[in-house]
Amino acid sequence: MPTNQRLYFIDAVRAFAILMMLQGHFIDTLLAPEYRDMSHTAYRVWSYFRGITAPTFFTISGLIFTYLLLKAKAKGTVKSRVRKGLNRGIMLIGIGYLLRMPFLSWLSGHFDTYFLVTDVLQIIGLSLICIIGMYHLCVKNTYIFSVVTLVLGFVIFVSEPLYRNLTLEHVPLFFSNYVSKANGSVFTILPWFGYMAFGAYIATAFYRHLDKPNFKPVTLSVFFIAGYLLIDWSTYALYYLSKWTDIQLFLDAANYNYLFTRLGNVCIYFAIFYGLERYLKPPLLLKIGQKTLSIYVIHFIIIYGSITGFGLNTLIGKTLSPWQAVCGAALFLICVCTISFYYVRTNAFIYGKLRALFYKLKGKPSA
């Protein structure tokens, strides 16, 4: 029978991912160019772990949303959860565009299409909508859904060479930006939906087996083993598949195999956080994990000058030394989290405002 047990490690992973994202954006935006040297061990280690942040965030997002969706099915509230998921997906897409709208430039008569590029929020929002669609296409059967998400994640990762340099010149910009980085999109639905799909697959395993004896030690072992195999052996596996099948695509994927190796890192993260779950229940940590949207929005405004046009990227620029960047990043984390905790009480603040606007546009009273 599906459990009502709360998975505290999910909030801990989300908190870790958002904090890593904050410090990563701060240092990357403000560190002086002369210190960006991969021959320096500290910078190389920082750069490596920064590269795992986005895969972790996408995977845990797919996991938590799907897990809640499956729990809603068991409770008989799936329609409500689907409605909330669709609303959230649309709102995330809207907020993603809002953060990049250059209002001051528009007021001065300067217009361009850069605000149409896609970033984390748009891709997560669209991915949530896709997961809901896939769930319904699988006739709400969790076993079929589990297989489909696993296979889809694998196919998206293996086929990455096919869309790596995609341009889609004759497709309207609004749509092409979701698939192609040619016009400046930071994140695109491919390959990042692959991480969401793998997260959804993991959620199905938790949903079906969480109450079984020895689930936790078995899951920890699976996470560690899968992580090790993906990091150290996925490239070899792709080479062997290419040799056995004579399919060039496997060889191309093996020659630039960052997707599977980063998924392996995510599995190791999950194993560590799930193994230490009993120690990861401090209210502050859980609160950060539940405030990811407001924290993301606040940090984006401060660093990149969204809405105001004045951010740290223009006020300071790439001028900081390593120690200045590290100390500044620590202060930045404290500042953003404090603002989120005490001035934006909850993510529902943002959702509530946008929901009220949504209903107003539809001419309906807000709920």
pLDDT of residue 346: 47
If pLDDT is split at 50, 70 and 90, which confidence band does 365 have? low
Give yes or no for a contact between 270 and 66, defined as CB atoms under 8 angstroms apart: no
Contact 318, 32 (CB under 8 A): yes
Q: Give the model confidence (pLDDT) of 285-296 as tens digits.
A: 888 888 899 899
pLDDT of residue 350: 57
Q: Is the pLDDT of residue 307 over 90?
A: no
Q: How does the average pLDDT of the chain come out, rounded?
A: 90
What is the pLDDT, as a whole number, of residue 140? 82
The residue type found at 143 is Y
Q: Is the pLDDT of residue 345 over 90?
A: no
10 Å CB burial of residue 276 (0-12, 13-18, 19+) is exposed
Q: If pLDDT is split at 50, 70 and 90, which confidence band does 1 have?
A: very low
**Partners of residue 31 on adjacent β-strands:** 320
Considering only residues 138 and 7, tell me which one the structure prediction assigns the higher pLDDT. 138
141 or 157, greater pLDDT:
157
pLDDT of residue 273: 95
pLDDT score at 351: 58
Question: How many angstroms separate the CA atoms of 151 and 105, rounded?
Answer: 45
**Are residues 179 and 163 in contact, defined by beta-carbon separation less than 8 angstroms?**
yes
Q: Are 45 and 2 in contact (CB under 8 A)?
A: no
Residue 343 pLDDT exceeds 70: no
Residue 340 and residue 338: Cα distance in Å, rounded?
A: 5
d(CA 11, CA 292): 10
Tokens read off for 183: 């016009």
Could you read off the pLDDT of 233-248 as tens digits, one per residue?
999 999 999 999 999 9
Mutual orientation of helices 8-30 and 41-75 as an angle, nearest 10°? Answer: 140
**Alpha carbon of residue 181 to chain centroid:** 17
Instruction: Give mean pLDDT, residues 263-273.
Output: 97
- Report phi then psi at 31, rounded to 5: -70, 135
Q: How confident is the model at residue 358, as a pLDDT?
A: 59
Which tens digits make up the pLDDT trace of 47-66? 999 999 999 999 999 999 99
CB–CB of 26/329 below 8 Å? yes
Using alpha carbons, list the distances in angstroms from residue 283 to 8, 81, 215, 278.
11, 26, 26, 13
Q: Quickly state the pLDDT bin for 154 (edges 50, 70, 90).
A: very high
pLDDT (0 to 100) of residue 286: 81
> How much is the pLDDT for 251?
96
Classify residue 171 by its DSSP letter: S
**What's CA 97's distance to the chain center, in Å?**
16
pLDDT reported for residue 108: 75
pLDDT of 367 reads 47
pLDDT band at residue 349 under the 50/70/90 scheme: low
pLDDT the model gives residue 105: 74
Please, are residues 247 and 239 in contact by the beta-carbon 8 Å criterion? no
When pLDDT is averaged across residues 66-74 and rounded to a whole number, the result is: 91
Note whether 158 and 249 are within 8 A (CB): yes
